[in-house]
């Protein structure tokens, strides 16, 4: 038996599944939600997102730490468009 890493399994990394759950929760759509097309997600209220939602899923409340992980996993570009509606 050889060890199997998360990357080798077809299971998404914890960061990705947590982020999905976080975004997909409709009760917090005023803070973060999918865009109209469902192709991306939008953080509408960064302060609330960081302070209230991040600690529910992660061991921190820093927006920048979340972005660091996002960059690691999905080379996601958080453009101004995504944040303009805050």
Partner DNA sequence: GGGAATATTCCC
User: Per DSSP, what are the bridge partners of residue 43?
Assistant: 32
Handedness of CA 86, 47, 13, 23 (dihedral sign): negative
Q: Which of residues 30, 72, 81, 83 is near DNA by CB under 7 A?
A: 72
Strand ranges, E, within the chain: 32-34, 41-43
Token pair listed for 13: 């990394």
Instruction: Give the residue with the Cβ less far from DNA, 41 or 58.
Output: 58
Site membership for DNA, residue 77 (CB under 7 A)? yes
Residues 28-67 contacting DNA, CB under 7 A = 58-60, 62, 64-65
SS3 at position 85: coil
Residues that bind DNA (CB under 7 A): 1, 3, 5-7, 13-15, 18, 58-60, 62, 64-65, 68-69, 71-72, 75, 77
């Amino acid at each position: 038996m050889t060890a199997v890493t998360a990357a080798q399994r077809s299971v998404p990394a914890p960061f990705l599944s947590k982020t999905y759950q976080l975004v997909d929760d409709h009760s917090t759509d005023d803070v973060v939600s999918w865009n109209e097309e469902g192709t991306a997600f939008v953080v509408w209220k960064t302060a609330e997102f960081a302070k209230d939602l991040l600690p529910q899923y992660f061991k921190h409340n820093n927006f920048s730490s979340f972005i660091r992980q996002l960059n690691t996993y999905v080379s996601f570009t958080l453009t101004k468009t995504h944040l303009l509606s805050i």
